[in-house]
């Protein structure tokens, strides 16, 4: 019988991409994927430490593995990702059931670390103290979750040091992959039938700056847009401070880059933006929105918002609500501020009470829900190209897919379509989080 592996993933899209790399290396070593992690030979827990609740959940899962290791001492337990980078050797001291601790820069040499462990060299902690080191290029097989959409890391790390964020401390400084390596990876994926590509980085607008390249991201977008077989290009995440007009114009003039701009503002108050070390104020942010609307009139604009940052007053929060009314985001990902040990904001005074945070979040979400419905209603009556994702999970008689602007669409299945097919769907009824439509003949 072949040996099996299971990967338990937490966190962002970069973590999802990293997990695909771990899976590919295990496949190349002869392991088969298994949904039954309790009986797998190798278990990788890919961790996130951006928010306290996520970290508590992950520690609970690691604790659960103590029983499984007792029942199966030959099981190899690897804890990887941002929490592994943050904790280092302390993770194995507190949780002796952990065999391998794999830092963020080791994602692409997991295979050799695992083989070294299996050769009898014992438990290992592989965490770089120097996070300026560039992860080696990935040479293994890919085990992608999607049959048509692929994550493609273009850079690692972040130089921004927002006061609430742990990422620069666990992902390191910005390091860009070469454009040649990125395009080669995409060309190989196209040859396997992949059609949609999401370019990943903590701040994609900084791509190439560590190599001394001016407008590196806009040039990379042009290169990827020209690759035959690429049908859609997305990217995340953008930092508003670094998004240039050249990038906006490249997107406007492109053939395949989706007109969906995700520009996380985090707060509508210039005072709070400054405390967060965001590098822009309200006025500058609104000028970026104006540039996007001018260059791409049908742009879909989404954002991230943090409620209850230390020192946030009712006036600051009202400025955030006002920003939502001004911009009219198509969607917003909203979060309650969670102090993270090791970040400057965790030591700030004037921490906002939890009850106030939750009350403000409720008001924020209520307003954004109204705006989401209004923005979706504007699409009713239009026929849009929708990329099929597959049958709806709640109703197999319906197909689901996404527009260029990443709007979720459901429509009755009248003919078979494979995931990745583009289908013309007439938008008929708007809801807060999706649009219902009808496939055109």
Q: Which CATH architecture has domain 380-437?
A: Beta Barrel (2.40)
* Structural domain spans, the chain: 2-126, 147-376, 380-437
258 assigned binding-site residue = no
CATH number for region 2-126: 3.40.50.12160
Domain 2-126 shares a fold with domain 147-376: no
Burial class of residue 251, CB neighbours in 10 A (0-12, 13-18, 19+) = buried
Cα–Cα nearest to 100, from 91, 17, 68, 24: 91
372 assigned binding-site residue = no
pLDDT digits (tens, 9 = 90+) for 272-306: 999 999 999 999 999 999 999 999 999 999 999 99
82 assigned binding-site residue = yes
Cis omega (within 30 of 0) for bond into 237: yes
Give the Cα separation of 49 and 400 in Å (integer): 32
pLDDT digits (tens, 9 = 90+) for 335-381: 999 998 889 999 999 999 999 999 999 999 999 999 999 999 999 99
What does each C-alpha distance from 435 to 124, 165, 373, 397 come to in angstroms?
50, 34, 9, 16
48 assigned binding-site residue = yes
3 state SS of 160: coil
406-431: string of b/e by CB count within 10 Å (b at 16+)? Answer: bbbbbbeeeeebebbeebebebeebe
DSSP-derived letter for residue 297 is: T
Q: How do beta strands 149-153 and 331-336 pair?
A: unpaired
Q: Which residue has the higher pLDDT, 436 or 53?
A: 436
DSSP-derived letter for residue 35 is: S
Please, are residues 178 and 197 in contact by the beta-carbon 8 Å criterion?
no
How many of the other CB atoms lie within 10 Å of CB of 112?
12
Residue 50 has pLDDT above 90, yes or no: no
Task: Band the pLDDT of 128: cuts 50, 70, 90.
Answer: low
Task: Band the pLDDT of 140: cuts 50, 70, 90.
Answer: confident
Give the Cα separation of 117 and 396 in Å (integer): 45
For the record, the structure tokens of 208 come out as 């190439």
Give the Cα separation of 348 and 336 in Å (integer): 16
CATH number for region 147-376: 3.80.30.20
Check residue 127 and give its pLDDT. Answer: 75
162 assigned binding-site residue = yes
What does each C-alpha distance from 430 to 370, 381, 382, 393, 440 come to in angstroms?
12, 10, 12, 19, 18
Q: How do beta strands 4-9 and 149-153 pair?
A: unpaired
Residues in a beta bridge with 152:
199
Report the predicted TM-score, pTM, of the whole model to 2 decimal places.
0.94
Note the Cα 252 to chain centre separation in Å. 23
């Amino acid at each position: 019988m072949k040996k099996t592996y299971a990967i338990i993933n937490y966190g962002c899209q970069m973590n999802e991409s990293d997990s695909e790399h771990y899976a590919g290396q295990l496949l190349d070593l002869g392991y088969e994927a298994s949904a039954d992690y309790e009986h797998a030979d190798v278990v990788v827990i890919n961790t996130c430490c951006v928010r306290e609740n996520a970290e508590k959940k992950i520690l609970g899962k690691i604790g659960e593995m103590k029983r499984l290791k007792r029942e199966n001492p030959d099981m190899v337990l690897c804890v990887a990702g941002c929490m592994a980078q943050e904790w280092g050797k302390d993770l194995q001291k507190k949780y002796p059931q952990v065999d391998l601790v794999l830092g963020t820069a080791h994602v692409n040499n997991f295979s050799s670390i695992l083989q070294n462990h299996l050769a009898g060299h014992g438990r290992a902690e592989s965490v770089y103290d120097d996070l300026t080191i560039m992860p080696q290029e990935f040479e293994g097989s890919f085990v992608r979750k999607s049959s048509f959409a692929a994550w493609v890391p273009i850079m690692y790390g972040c130089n921004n040091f927002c006061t609430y964020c742990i990422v620069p401390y666990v992902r390191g400084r910005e390091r860009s992959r070469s454009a040649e390596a990125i395009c080669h990876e995409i060309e190989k994926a196209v040859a396997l039938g992949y059609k949609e590509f999401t370019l990943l980085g903590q701040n994609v607008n900084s791509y190439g700056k560590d190599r001394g390249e001016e407008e590196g991201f806009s040039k990379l977008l042009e290169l990827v847009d020209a690759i035959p077989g690429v049908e859609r290009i997305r990217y995340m995440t953008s930092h508003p401070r670094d998004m240039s007009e050249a990038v906006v114009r490249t997107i406007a003039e492109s053939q395949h880059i989706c007109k969906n701009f995700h520009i996380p503002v985090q707060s509508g108050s210039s005072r709070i933006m400054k405390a967060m070390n965001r590098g822009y104020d309200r006025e500058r942010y609104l000028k970026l929105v104006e540039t996007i609307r001018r260059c791409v009139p049908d742009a879909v604009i989404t954002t991230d918002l943090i409620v209850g940052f230390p020192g946030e007053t009712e006036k600051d929060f009202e400025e955030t609500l006002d920003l939502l009314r001004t911009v009219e985001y198509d969607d917003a990902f909203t979060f309650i501020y969670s102090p993270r040990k090791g970040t400057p904001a965790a030591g700030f005074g004037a921490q906002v009470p939890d009850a106030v945070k939750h009350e403000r979040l409720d008001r924020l979400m209520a307003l954004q829900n109204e705006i989401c419905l209004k923005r979706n209603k504007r699409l009713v009556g239009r026929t849009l190209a929708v990329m099929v994702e597959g049958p709806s999970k709640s109703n197999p008689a319906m197909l689901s897919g996404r527009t260029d602007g990443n709007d979720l669409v459901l429509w009755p299945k009248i003919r078979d379509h494979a995931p990745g097919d583009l289908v013309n769907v007439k938008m008929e009824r708007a809801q807060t989080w999706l649009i219902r439509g009808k496939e055109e003949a």
